Amino acid sequence: MRVANPALMVEQEIQLLRLLRLHGPLTRRRLSDLTGYSVSQIRQLTQDLLGHGLVIEDGMAPAETPGRPSQMWTLAPDACLAVGLDVGGHFTRVITLDAVGHVLYRHTLPTPTSNNGSELLAFLKEQAQTALDSLGKQRSLVRGVGVAFSGFIDNRSGYSIAAPNIAAGSNLPLQSYLEGVLRLPVIIEDSTRAMTLAEMRYGGDQTAENFLCVNVGAGIGMGIVVNGQLYRGGEGFAGEIGHIPVQPYGDLCHCGRQGCLETLASGRAIASRARMMLEQRVPSKLHELTAGVPGRATTEMVTLAAQAGDQLAIDLLNQAGLWLGIALATAINLLSPQKIILTGGVMRHNHLLLAAVQDAAERYALPHAPRPLPISLSRFDNEVGALGAATLILDAEFDSGFARRLTEN
């Protein structure tokens, strides 16, 4: 039975849901300790949430003092579901998450290379629709679709302003189109910020409230977390570390400027320099890996050759690591993060490149920055962008969706 102030009860219930999301299964006593509410209040709140299908009983906790074990409570996995798409230049990854972050569906396929924007939009619709259809009767539990898109995104309208790494990815009304055809809320986010969100919610260290997540792939992006919140900046473009000019009059970047970090340390830059060296017949295991065709050289090949001790490949990684480390030292001096997480296809499991980055950052960061600098590789695989995209929807549900649903009931 509800209390005299239903709005207050809803507010209290949302607080419990957020605690269960953050901490996992908890006893009523522990919920009482965390909220300051009496155990009898917690009992009423959990029973009401149970009736709405938002929490479930989850086993018994051992008794801390003589007496009976205590009932554990946790979020109901089907309290809400979310679909996430991560759209990159080469691959699009799709997942569906339940309320506690379990993956219910996953699929990876090549991103279309056509220069037709309408075809790309239709492709995204088809992939989201397939994920929804895979849920059967549970489809009604989906609260929205999140899309991580590798480009410059207007967060207010969900419009892709520019996406140099995705064919036909520029000037696309992503949010309005997908909401129209899917009949669900859609949230569009820059892919690096989506990855950063996944690190926030599911990463190993949940104590850091100020950190950076740097995505090194075809380009380079950075997610910024300040006081536990994603920082987007006034126009939503904060974190474009890949377009910091580090080499005056250097190579032309796809953004139209010269000497950007991306022209020196991105996957595209590493592969380009490898091809140039091979064309000059510099001795390297890469000749074998490319079957004598320099144009076939990829960053993955460079990493494999470096791991095998190839000197050219090692030099290429060290050169990229130097520039990236200098940029991270600048970010450390500016923002004093508690940690920096390196993610993306170029960095994944790339301990050689990590070592080069750490070495350069150590040399160029201010002496009073804590040593060793907290720079590490992400523990997530290549689904991290899609995971973050789906989490955009879960976050929205915990921010306001559950409150609306409880109020309506």
Alpha carbon distance 387, 85 (integer Å): 8
Amino acid at 358: Q
Query: 362 with 313: CB under 8 angstroms?
Result: no
CA angle in degrees (0–180, nearest 5) for 198-199-203 = 115
pTM of the predicted model as reported, rounded to 2 decimal places: 0.89
209 Cβ contact partners less than 8 Å away, ≥ 6 residues apart: 225, 226, 227, 228, 338
Distances, alpha carbon 15 to alpha carbons 32, 105, 233, 279, 399, in Å: 11, 29, 28, 61, 10
Kindly report the number of other CB atoms within 10 A of residue 257's CB atom. Answer: 14
Q: Which of 95, 74, 73 is nearest to 84 (CA)?
A: 95
Whether omega for the bond prior to residue 372 falls within 30 degrees of 0, making it cis, is: yes
The phi, psi pair for 378, rounded to 5°, reads: -65, 150
196 Cβ contact partners less than 8 Å away, ≥ 6 residues apart: 213, 223, 224, 225, 230, 388
Query: 149 with 163: CB under 8 angstroms?
Result: yes
Helix (H, G, I), strand (E, B) or coil at 23: helix
Alpha carbon distance 169, 192 (integer Å): 16
Query: 79 with 52: CB under 8 angstroms?
Result: no
Amino acid at 351: H
Kindly report the number of other CB atoms within 10 A of residue 278's CB atom. Answer: 22
How do the domains of the chain map onto residue ranges?
A: 6-75, 79-197+384-408, 204-377
Given the structure tokens 């991306």, which residue do they identify? 262
The domain over range 204-377 is classified in CATH as 3.30.420.40: yes
So what's the pLDDT on residue 333?
A: 94
Given the structure tokens 């929490």, which residue do they identify? 55
As a 3-state breakdown, the chain gives helix, strand, coil percent values, each rounded to 5, of 45, 20, 35
Which CATH entry fits the domain spanning 6-75: 3.40.30.10, 1.10.287.3510, 1.10.10.10, 3.90.1820.10? 1.10.10.10
Query: 232 with 217: CB under 8 angstroms?
Result: no
So what's the pLDDT on residue 14?
A: 94
Alpha carbon distance 238, 231 (integer Å): 7
| Token pair in block for residue 214 | 């740097």
Alpha carbon distance 289, 209 (integer Å): 43
Task: Note down pLDDT in tens along the chain; length 409 residues.
Answer: 445 578 889 999 999 999 999 888 999 999 999 999 999 999 999 999 999 999 999 888 776 556 677 889 999 999 999 999 999 988 999 999 999 999 999 999 999 999 999 999 999 999 999 999 999 999 999 999 999 998 889 988 999 999 988 989 999 999 999 999 999 999 999 999 999 999 998 886 677 889 999 999 988 999 999 998 999 888 778 999 999 999 988 899 888 889 999 999 999 999 999 999 999 999 999 999 999 999 999 999 999 999 999 999 999 999 999 999 999 999 999 999 999 999 999 999 999 999 999 999 999 999 988 888 999 999 998 899 999 999 999 999 999 888 888 887 6
Which CATH entry fits the domain spanning 79-197+384-408: 3.90.550.10, 3.30.420.40, 3.90.1150.10, 3.40.50.300? 3.30.420.40
Please check whether the two domains, 79-197+384-408 and 204-377, share a CATH topology: yes
Residue 90 CA neighbour count, 13 Å, CB half: 8
What pairing do the DSSP bridges indicate for beta strands 211-216 and 220-226?
antiparallel
Amino acid at 308: A
Kindly report the number of other CB atoms within 10 A of residue 228's CB atom. Answer: 11
Alpha carbon distance 272, 219 (integer Å): 13
The phi, psi pair for 255, rounded to 5°, reads: -80, -10
So what's the pLDDT on residue 2?
A: 46
